[in-house]
């Protein structure tokens, strides 16, 4: 199944919110280091930015059609 860039972006944003909620507890329990948590969130933020750009380009392309 293929999902649009906007759909993927929405899911990535949901994942970032979930990680920000869950990771502090994992850090307290020492299941996850602060550095690793920050890195994982930063990677997801980069993915979100990539899909923001892709979704915007898709919207522009469709508007020109």
pLDDT per residue as tens digits for the range 1-36:
899 999 999 999 999 999 999 999 999 999 999 999
pLDDT at 59: 64
Distance of CA 47 to the CA centre of its chain: 5
Kindly report the pTM of this predicted structure: 0.84
pLDDT at 7: 95
What is the average per-residue pLDDT within 45-59?
Answer: 91
Q: Which two tokens stand for residue 35?
A: 């550095």
């Amino acid at each position: 199944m293929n999902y649009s860039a906007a759909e993927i972006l929405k899911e990535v944003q949901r994942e970032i919110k979930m990680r920000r909620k869950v990771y502090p507890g994992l850090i307290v329990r020492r299941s996850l280091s602060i550095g690793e948590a920050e890195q994982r969130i930063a990677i997801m933020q980069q993915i979100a930015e990539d899909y923001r750009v892709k979704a915007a380009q898709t919207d522009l392309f469709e508007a020109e059609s």
